[in-house]
Structure 1
Amino acid sequence: MNRLYNIILINGKILLAIIARLSFLLSTESKLKKFAKGQQGLIKQIQAEMSCHKNNPTPVIWLHAASLGEYGVARPIIKQLKQRSTCRIVLTFFSPTGYEALHIHHPEIDHIFYLPLDTPKNARTFIDTIHPQKTIFIISEYWINYLNELRMRNIPTFLISAVISRNAPFFKWYGGLFRSSLETFTHFLVLNRQSGENLQSLGYRNFSVTGDPLFDNAIAVASTPYQNPIVEKFACGKDVFIAGSVSDRKDLQLICHLANRYRDVRFIIVPHEISEEVLNDIKFNLDGYALCYSECDADTDFSDTQTLIIDYLGALAFLYRYGKWAYVGGGFTPYLHSIIEATVYGLPVAFGPMIQRKVTPNELMELGIGQVVRSEKELEKWFEALRNEPQQLKQIKNTALDYSRSNSGATSNIIQILA
């Protein structure tokens, strides 16, 4: 099984090299193009950057997040690690979404790289190059060769904000390779008791139920002063519906249907990925006039504009403060995006039905804050029930804020274990 895994990865590396050479055939904004080009010469780039610190005794802590959403877990942990002791932070991303949003400038992170593909050679070379004292993987990252290399070197390795469900590969007939990868981890920091019980059934007792650092991160963002003159001018005096991390065609169908049905409501749509194709697709499906953020300035007249499309990354968690209702994308795939970012502002939030990998959606539904929607009709029904109900919206806001506060503090619990 391990041999098959390595063959797939090595062939994938060859394929990416071909894609990078033929990248002129792909659109400039293509995620695949960005990923393929990001992998080219990556090991040499990392070696060159890290060589400047060859004799630096400061311990390195390596954190890996799949994308920008997972970085929301890493961010408060990085901040407290830096406050607690002198260390250098190496952060890796698998997806261009995270890397492109952060790699140019981030004062708390010393080095940001793409994660080289998980081949045996890459894993050895990368770890030889960065020399991590500790390694932290976020949520559900199980890169077999990296984990094997860390285990052979006895480097403490932690899995944070993990949800171990019965639907995970560990419990499947083909899951032996993934089950063996669990042996690497020094400690599992899981989101709920059920995850701990599932780990126990696999023979692991080295876990703690620590809660979700996403609450700490989202609360910190919500309390950070933020002004966006263009968004404020667009939203001024209007009821605004925020559609965040719109990821696929189903998300788009639901949101555009709602916007077309309620022309007196203003919408802010934040795509999960920015490309000319995605932006044009959104505009094509909207009946009302829509503008991209990049098309606006301080003099833009929004009187006839129903929808503002945010065509840059990294702003969504701040923009929810301008909303009255929210929809979070990704729920028609296994990768629902962060609904916590909307919850900390007290917004009622709707999302698609694939919530098995998350703990928060079910808790929000039990509290009357969140709602699963499977169709345009269900989203419209949910919105209509809340639209002109100020008392209900006020109650939801109070409940959401209390819920967010009660779930804060996970970062401090995690830092105690990491220490």
Structure 2
Amino acid sequence: MLRRYDLIMRLARYATLGASAFVSDSSAAKIMRFARGQRVAIERVREGMETLDRSKPTVWLHAASLGEYGIARPIISAIKRQADCNVVITFFSPTGYEAVSRRKGDIDRVFYLPLDTRSNVNRFLDIVRPDCAVFMVSEYWHNYLHALKQRGIPSFLISAIIRDDGPFFKWYGSLYRNSIKSFSKVFTLDDNSIRNLRKLGIDNVSVNGDPLFDNVALVASTPWKDELIERFTGNEKVFLAGSIHHDRDLEMVTELANRHPDTRFIIVPHEINENILKDIEDKVKGRCVRYSQCDGQTDMSDTQVMIVDFVGALAYIYRYAAWAYVGGGFTPLLHSVIEPSVYGIPVSFGPKIHRKVTPTEMVRLGIGKVVHDTEELDLWFKRLKRDNARVQYIAKRAAKYVKQNTGATPRVVRHILDIICAKK
């Protein structure tokens, strides 16, 4: 099994290159960026670590992409406030790597995670020499976890959700079971995950909550403004469609804009490429502008839609919205629904939420709305436009929900700091 897994990892980079010939231009571009990053991943790690002060302890965190980075971010900030240490973060996705590389903040080094082969793993750990490793949500990289355990390096899994029907309980799940058993401690989002982990014989677990709530609270409290967006919004209420996929998300949001020409829209695609930008412009009947093509002299008086054609600021831009739709809900990849909710605005999203704790809870509380098509989205929007009392009610409940769920970060950080202090 392990040899087969290692072979699959070795072939993965070449398989992705081959796949790029059979997918859309935007997906092909992302695959090529991933392949280029993997080709030089180990060398970039070596170069980056050479200039780091190795007398300090090193904390390594791994996030699949930008969404998972939202969980890591408050943990990183808390660690750097309380300890003199190096923080290294790795990403699997080009989107996360590129966005965070441009704005490192408290992070000392940002790398692609080299593919999970035994040779890559050993070289990576030999170079980085982490004192502990922190993985987000569902990053079960078997060779990395096995090597960390063998080397006696503590590892943590954060914001885990272990479902009754998950791969751990399938006939093919031995690799998953072995991987999760390698963690020193697992922090889960709910009690059901604890029960399922104990069925697997794993007791080093605790319900911790989601540091993502701490992150959105931090973002919302951070002073931030954008002059171009403020010129576009003026004194108008704005509908913001964030992390829009080039599928039903785009169809629904552009049709909604056409049905409400009196409302201004900000549309933020999940992936920025010419195909989706042009498609938005073609489908919207009102005037569109791209953020990148605007300056202080651009006349926006008759503009209905602004397309934000850069990544990394969506969580901040939500503060300009009165209503929001979050993309990815027609795939298993629904994006963060609490990023807009922290500002107290009504939030809608697609129907694939049954495996996700937060959107399910938001629907139960009446602060989130599942929509299956344009008609449902339009009906939801019309009701809110004419019912300000309902909007105010949602705002109060959303603020309470976020406040009740903050505070997960200190519990995780305490374990990390114990390790760092022990190394000094």
TM-score, normalized by length of structure 2? 0.94
- Structure 1 distance, partners of 2:27, 2:334, is 26
Q: Percent of aligned positions with the same letter in both sequences?
A: 48
Shift of 1:5: 2.0
The answer to whether the aligner puts 1:201 opposite 2:218 as a matched pair is no
**8 Å CA contact retained: 1:248, 1:330:** no
Shift of 1:191: 0.9
| Structure 2 partner of 1:366 | 364
**8 Å CA contact retained: 1:64, 1:91:** yes
Shift of 1:416: 2.2
| Structure 1 partner of 2:422 | none
- Structure 2 distance, partners of 1:119, 1:189, is 26
Letter of the structure 1 residue corresponding to residue 397 of structure 2? T
Report the 3-state secondary structure (helix = DSSP H, G, I; strand = E; otherwise coil) of the residue aligned with 2:102.
coil
**8 Å CA contact retained: 1:19, 1:36:** no
| Structure 1 partner of 2:141 | 143
Letter of the structure 2 residue corresponding to residue 52 of structure 1? T
| Structure 2 partner of 1:8 | 8
Shift of 1:248: 3.4
| Structure 1 partner of 2:34 | 35
Q: Quickly say closer, same or farther: Cα 1:18–1:51, change in 2 above 3 A.
A: farther
Letter of the structure 1 residue corresponding to residue 307 of structure 2? I
| Structure 2 partner of 1:62 | 60
179-188 vs 164-173, greater mean Cα deviation? 164-173
Shift of 1:16: 5.2
- Structure 1 distance, partners of 2:317, 2:150, is 45
- Structure 1 distance, partners of 2:399, 2:205, is 29
| Structure 2 partner of 1:330 | 328
Report the 3-state secondary structure (helix = DSSP H, G, I; strand = E; otherwise coil) of the residue aligned with 1:90.
strand
- Structure 1 distance, partners of 2:172, 2:60, is 29
Structure 1 runs not aligned, ≥5 long = none
- Deviation track 1:294-321 (CA, whole Å, cap 9, x = no partner) reads 0111111112211101011111011111
Shift of 1:288: 1.6
* Pairing 1:44-83 to 2, within 5 Å after superposition: 44-53=43-52, 56-83=54-81
| Structure 2 partner of 1:281 | 279
Letter of the structure 1 residue corresponding to residue 282 of structure 2? F
Q: Quickly say closer, same or farther: Cα 1:344–1:105, change in 2 above 3 A.
A: closer
Shift of 1:417: 3.1
- Deviation track 1:256-295 (CA, whole Å, cap 9, x = no partner) reads 1211111111110111111111211222222221111001
Letter of the structure 1 residue corresponding to residue 74 of structure 2? P
**8 Å CA contact retained: 1:26, 1:33:** no
Shift of 1:134: 0.2
| Structure 2 partner of 1:115 | 113
- Structure 2 distance, partners of 1:291, 1:247, is 19
TM-score, normalized by length of structure 1? 0.95
- Deviation track 1:167-207 (CA, whole Å, cap 9, x = no partner) reads 32112221111111111111111111111111112221211
- Structure 2 distance, partners of 1:348, 1:379, is 12
| Structure 2 partner of 1:272 | 270
| Structure 2 partner of 1:400 | 398
Q: 2:174 aligns with which of 173, 176, 183?
A: 176
- Deviation track 1:137-169 (CA, whole Å, cap 9, x = no partner) reads 011111111111111112100000111112321
Shift of 1:28: 11
Shift of 1:344: 0.5
Shift of 1:4: 2.5
Shift of 1:68: 0.7
The answer to whether the aligner puts 1:228 opposite 2:249 as a matched pair is no
**8 Å CA contact retained: 2:354, 2:360:** no
Report the 3-state secondary structure (helix = DSSP H, G, I; strand = E; otherwise coil) of the residue aligned with 1:30.
helix
- Structure 2 distance, partners of 1:218, 1:27, is 29
Letter of the structure 2 residue corresponding to residue 283 of structure 1? E
| Structure 2 partner of 1:93 | 91
Q: Quickly say closer, same or farther: Cα 1:371–1:16, change in 2 above 3 A.
A: closer
Letter of the structure 2 residue corresponding to residue 41 of structure 1? V
**8 Å CA contact retained: 2:246, 2:276:** no
Letter of the structure 2 residue corresponding to residue 324 of structure 1? A
Structure 2 runs not aligned, ≥5 long = 419-424
- Structure 1 distance, partners of 2:343, 2:285, is 29
- Structure 1 distance, partners of 2:51, 2:375, is 58
Q: Quickly say closer, same or farther: Cα 1:365–1:403, change in 2 above 3 A.
A: same
Letter of the structure 2 residue corresponding to residue 51 of structure 1? E
| Structure 2 partner of 1:218 | 216
